[in-house]
Chains A and B, each alone.
Chain A
């Protein structure tokens, strides 16, 4: 992947939001919806390589690597499909994982896992999104997104660079946090820092975006740029564990077909995912 422009340029291309950013301060809901779009829904589809390095308190490192495909079901920032092909470590190598994400709060996501050594397609119960993603310090919900409808949002401050939004869960008994504070970049609306707090006001988890790349792509034949977080770090302040996520070879609008997200390709991955 060629590194592209510097980040500030990316902001200029956000046609709708740039106008918004330069005028009056948007409302907290507008900011959150925009941030949700930027973090998860840019382009009609995305293909990328992801590697995770998990470092525990004792400094022991573990690596996870996978290829990832994502496709939006529509352009409403709602339902999506995800496809993951694991490459490392050995015990998950060549496993594939598929998610049909449903934005409706009442509807659980559908998840499938395929284990090639047994030729087994497993359905995975998806009731709890607040569980670790492949043993890392990222949770499923960090990867596939938390619906803006799940929380009350409150703009609690603005700085030179960021909107600071406090998010309080509508159903506190379904999550392990009391609230979280998101720092959202004023220029490109990407969440740059998210801190999770317990009831006593302690921060116990923090996710930071360390690098944003401007990824060139085509949309309806016209060149566009999608600012994309390519390095992020999740820290569990209670356990002392840290996970660095590096995203590379990011491509948008490659024309991923809908049927890729079916049992056929779960059992035998599409060729270009494996390479």
Chain B
């Protein structure tokens, strides 16, 4: 049930915020804004989004998404730094609660010619994969993605310090997260899933509870990227020292846990035959897996992706990728299984993305898709968006899951296939 009253209050609050954002250098008494700040740049949007499952899912509601969302985006600066706040509040018809999420709250500074600092809550991305992530271990929000929220929400924020060093030879990004930020993975709250222990689908009545590492400065994460361009071919090597971002194991009593994980990888991206090619690989070192014979901890993996994107015609762009996950120590893994279906040693996924812009680029038709020939499952994301004006956007789309088996990555979500519509008004 949407709480109209609550939303009304939020809108009122937001309008008030608009009025208190002062002009730069406001004169006179009672000034609330110090002079050394620049003017506050205030933006935001209000959005209504509704969606429904296309078939009955005994583990979930019929509505897949139902929300009225408000985003406020504030930006200002001083001589030495920039400040940003971006936060959402929404009335959520699925959880039947008012929800809030601070997406960005950071300070950025360029203290010297070779150093950039960005500290606070921030969205972080690197790597070359399109819709697949190998060396990008920053938190994802798969729930938002699968229920058809805007693609912005695929990335969850990190509470981190990003230090960037620039030299003639190469550039180095270091991201330190003092308290582990997990993915917002599928828990059953919005999306039902396959519970292998119970050998059945599970959802709202069987929310995954996980034992998340949460000790400040002990259960921390460090991510590094060393990169440089050679004639505009972008080369990078990566490192990550932290934990599996989604439960990668369980305790003897069945509680989901996040075992330690280190990732090492490399990527290259640049022009190939009239388009852009990318190649990336990553070694996922599951530090607690002890040779792969432990049934309670996920094995180490190798991940590879090769991709190509180009324009096929005017305002028509296509991208194709081949992505492989290789489970290491496979023999030991097979021996450790006790009756649950085995993962394949190699999981192959082909991703495709086609985007066509029409009517002065105000109408966008797009199709993103994942198809796994080894899992025999498919995930399709058709989407249409139309800019009615510069500030009003209408959008409709679907998240379609098709699978031969109940337990494969996309196949398990078959009952969650949904369609949605949205309207957004930006300020």
Residue B64 is within 8 A (CB to CB) of chain A in the complex: no
State whether A62 and B360 are in contact (beta carbons under 8 Å apart), knowing that A108-B271, A119-B124, A128-B314 are contacts in the complex.
Answer: yes
Q: Which residue of B lies closest to A259 (CB)?
A: B166
The reply to whether A108 and B274 contact each other, CB–CB distance below 8 Å, is yes
**B-contacting 9-mer, from A132-140, A151-159, A196-204:** A132-140
Quick check: A119 and B426 within 8 Å, CB to CB? Answer: no
Q: Name the B residues within 8 Å of A88 (CB-CB).
A: 390
Inter-subunit contact B155/A119 (CB<8 Å) = yes
Contact A135 B152 (CB under 8 A): no
| B:293-340 near A, CB below 8 Å | 309-311, 313-315, 317
Contact A131:B311 (CB < 8 A) given known A56-B360, A89-B390, A117-B123 = yes
Contacts known (A91-B387, A119-B123); A264 close to B116, Cβ less than 8 A: yes
Query: Does B389 count as interface, using CB distance less than 8 angstroms?
Result: yes
| Known contacts A132-B357, A135-B361, A271-B110; 7 further A-B pairs (Cβ under 8 A) | A89-B391, A90-B391, A110-B271, A118-B154, A119-B122, A125-B317, A239-B360
Complex: chain B residue closest to A111, CB-CB: B276
Q: 22 pairs across A/B with beta carbons < 8 Å?
A: A56-B360, A63-B390, A89-B387, A90-B45, A90-B390, A93-B43, A100-B232, A108-B274, A110-B232, A118-B123, A118-B151, A118-B152, A125-B310, A127-B274, A128-B313, A128-B314, A134-B361, A135-B361, A137-B360, A259-B166, A264-B116, A268-B116
- Let me know if B108 and A268 touch, CB within 8 A: yes
Say yes or no: B125 contacts A119, CB within 8 Å.
Answer: yes
* Cα-based distance from A62 to B360 in the complex (angstroms): 10
Evaluate contact between A118 and B390: CB separation under 8 angstroms.
no
Known: A117-B152, A131-B315. A62 touches B389 (CB 8 A): yes
A135 in complex: contacting residue of B151, B311, B362, CB < 8 Å? B362
| B 350-366 to A, binary, CB cutoff 8 A, 1 in contact else 0 | 00000001001110000
Question: Which chain B residues border A63 with CB–CB below 8 Å?
Answer: 390
Q: Contact flags (1/0) for A234-275 with B, using CB distance below 8 Å?
A: 000001010000000000000000010011100010010011
Q: How far is the CA of A173 from the CA of B116 in the complex (A)?
A: 46
- Which residue of chain B has its CB nearest to the CB of A100? B232
Does chain A have a CB within 8 A of B49? no
Q: B residues within 8 A CB of A268?
A: 82, 108, 110, 116, 118
B269 interfacial by beta-carbon distance below 8 Å: yes
Contact, CB under 8 Å: A120 / B125: yes
Is A130 in contact with chain B by the CB < 8 A criterion? yes
Any A CB within 8 A of the CB of B171: yes
B residues near A62, Cβ cutoff 8 Å: 360, 362, 387, 389-390
User: Do A54 and B360 touch (CB < 8 A)?
Assistant: yes
In the complex, chain B residues whose CB is within 8 Å of the CB of A100? 232
Q: Which of chain A's residues has its CB closest to B45's CB?
A: A90
Determine whether B409 belongs to the interface, using a CB cutoff of 8 Å to chain A: no
9 smallest CB-CB distances across A and B, nearest first, come from A135-B361, A90-B426, A89-B390, A127-B274, A119-B125, A117-B152, A123-B276, A135-B360, A110-B232
B164 within 8 A of A: yes
In the bound complex, CA of A120 to CA of B127 (Å) = 9
Instruction: Mark contacts of B70-106 with chain A using CB atoms, 8 A cut-off: 1 yes-contact digit, 0 otherwise.
Output: 0000000100001000000000000000000000000
Tell me the minimal C-beta distance from A82 to chain B in angstroms. Answer: 14
Chain B CB count within 10 A is highest, among A90, A131, A268, for A90
Query: Would A271 and B43 count as touching, CB distance under 8 A?
Result: no
Query: B385 to nearest A CB, angstroms?
Result: 9
Give the chain A neighbours of B122 by CB distance below 8 A: 119
Give Cα distance in the complex from A132 to B155, angstroms: 29
Residues 105-131 of B at the A interface (beta carbon under 8 Å): 108, 110, 116, 118, 122-126
> Which residues of the other chain, B, contact A119 by a CB distance below 8 angstroms?
122-125, 155
A-chain residues with CB within 8 Å of residue B155 when the two chains form the complex: 118-119
Q: How far is the CB of A126 from chain B (nearest CB, A)?
A: 8
A120 and B138 CA atoms in complex are apart in Å by 12
**Contacts of B45 on A, CB cut-off 8 Å?**
90
Q: What residues of chain A lie closer than 8 Å to B361, measured between beta carbons?
A: 132, 134-135
Complex: how many Å from CA A60 to CA B118?
41
Residues of A within 8 A of B151 (CB): 118
The CA of A131 and the CA of B357, in the complex, are separated in Å by 11
Query: Does B25 sit at the interface, judged by CB under 8 A?
Result: no
B314 contacts A91, CB within 8 Å? Answer: no
Interface positions of A from 73 to 91, Cβ below 8 Å from B: 88-91
* Shortest Cβ gap from A243 to chain B (Å): 9
Indicate if the CB atoms of B271 and A132 lie closer than 8 Å: no
Does the CB pair B426–A264 fall under 8 Å? no
A131 to B356, CA, bound (A): 12
Residues of B contacting A56 in the complex (Cβ-Cβ under 8 angstroms): 360
For residue B373, CB closer than 8 A to chain A, the reply is: no
A262 CA / B82 CA spacing, docked (Å): 20
Shortest beta-carbon distance, B273 to chain A, in Å?
Answer: 9
Q: Which residues of A contact B166 (CB under 8 A)?
A: 259, 264
- A241 to B269, Cβ gap below 8 A? no
Residues of B within 8 A of A134 (CB): 361
Query: Which one of A89, A93, A123, A125 contacts B274 once the chains associate, using CB atoms below 8 Å?
Result: A125
How does the 8 Å CB contact mask read for A1-39 relative to B, with 1 for contact and 0 for none? 000000000000000000000000000000000000000
Interface residue B186 (Cβ < 8 Å from any Cβ of A): no
B58 interface contact, C-beta 8 A: no
Q: Please, how many angstroms separate the alpha-carbon atoms of A100 and B233 in the complex?
A: 12
Question: Which residues of A in the span 47-104 have a Cβ within 8 Å of any Cβ on B?
Answer: 54, 56, 60, 62-63, 88-91, 93, 100
Q: Is the CB of A132 within 8 A of B390?
A: no
Inter-subunit contact A125/B360 (CB<8 Å): no
User: Complex: how many Å from CA A56 to CA B361?
Assistant: 12
Contact A127 to B116, CB < 8 A, known contacts A90-B43, A119-B122, A119-B123: no
